[in-house]
Amino acid sequence: AQTVTQSQPEMSVQEAETVTLSCTYDTSESDYYLFWYKQPPSRQMILVIRQEAYKQQNATENRFSVNFQKAAKSFSLKISDSQLGDAAMYFCAYRSLETSGSRLTFGEGTQLTVNP
Amino acid sequence: DGGITQSPKYLFRKEGQNVTLSCEQNLNHDAMYWYRQDPGQGLRLIYYSQIVNDFQKGDIAEGYSVSREKKESFPLTVTSAQKNPTAFYLCASSSRSHRGNEKLFFGSGTQLSVL
């Protein structure tokens, strides 16, 4: 079974600065998807960014980008120009393409605080 | 507006009681999921359904039951066999793709507490 680990329970960043959230995963599969979800205080889960394992190019969505290192099984999220609205719990998630269904395996989460 | 509706927002369960959490979607999605979230932890999969009248156990199915009689609806029953039901429950749905890149849409969740 796949596992996802987020080793930083809490992180903080100054407004307008850059922060990187770490995620590692364990799998024996060669093709899969990785995701970062954001959960603000409203507790609504919001997709931030996704990465296909077979694509070498790192995904980017506006101020959010990833550093995908397939060999190291690492998938970090970089938030540039941090804004107060970025404060949330961030979850890394893995989806297998070799098992049925679209089930996601989530990490434990990183609570991000943005300081004004 | 299309989306997923979970109700109620807050639910209280008495000892030995079964309670049912509602999840309805109007996105025409084939697949639906139930996740449990405990404080300081990630989401864990309870049950999922890829098509009407079919569902599979997730990682923590014991003490829970589901049904999928309609495409739009995927209710979750927390039975008295679930000894630690206090948690935040999230329902999600997605289109059924063979590629795996489909986005999961989440509801706003139900907080279940034991009296």
pLDDT digits (tens, 9 = 90+) for B70-82: 999 999 999 988 8
The pLDDT value given to residue A102: 67
Amino acid at A74: S
Calculate the alpha carbon distances from A55 to A31, A50, B6, B61, B99 in Å: 10, 11, 35, 34, 13
d(CA B25, CA B38): 24
A36 and A86 in contact (C-beta within 8 Å)?
no
Contacts of B101 in chain A (CB under 8 A): 33, 50, 52
CB half-sphere exposure, A49, CA atoms < 13 A = 18
The pLDDT value given to residue B26: 95
Which of A32-36, A89-93, A95-99 has the lowest average pLDDT?
A: A95-99
Q: Tokens for A70, please give them.
A: 């397939």
CB half-sphere exposure, A87, CA atoms < 13 A = 12
Q: How confident is the model at residue A92 (pLDDT cuts 50, 70, 90)?
A: very high
Cβ neighbours, 10 Å, residue B44: 16
Amino acid at B86: T
The pLDDT value given to residue A85: 96
- The three-state secondary structure class of A85 is helix
Does A90 contact chain B (CB < 8 Å)? no
Contacts of B29 in chain A (CB under 8 A): none
A64 and A88 in contact (C-beta within 8 Å)?
no
Q: How confident is the model at residue A96 (pLDDT cuts 50, 70, 90)?
A: confident
Interface of B with A in 33-72 (CB under 8 A): 33, 35, 40-45, 48, 50, 56, 58
Residue of B90, B104, B108, B110 to mutate, interface with A, max A Cβ within 10 Å: B104
The pLDDT value given to residue A38: 96
The pLDDT value given to residue B74: 98
Q: Is the pLDDT of residue B2 over 80?
A: no
The pLDDT value given to residue A84: 97
d(CA B102, CA A50): 10
Q: Which residue of A has its CA nearest to B47?
A: A103
CB contact under 8 A, B100 and A32: yes
Question: What share of chain A in percent tops pLDDT 70?
Answer: 97
Interface of A with B in 16-75 (CB under 8 A): 32-33, 42-45, 47, 50, 52
The pLDDT value given to residue B99: 63
For chain B, what is the radius of gyration of the CA atoms? 13
B19 and B10 in contact (C-beta within 8 Å)?
no
Closest Cα of chain A to B54: distance in Å? 12
For chain A, what is the radius of gyration of the CA atoms? 14
The pLDDT value given to residue B103: 78
Closest Cα of chain B to A33: distance in Å? 7
Contacts of B97 in chain A (CB under 8 A): 102
Residue of B10, B23, B35, B37 to mutate, interface with A, max A Cβ within 10 Å: B37
The pLDDT value given to residue B100: 63
Nearest CB to A45: which of B90, B100, B102?
A: B90
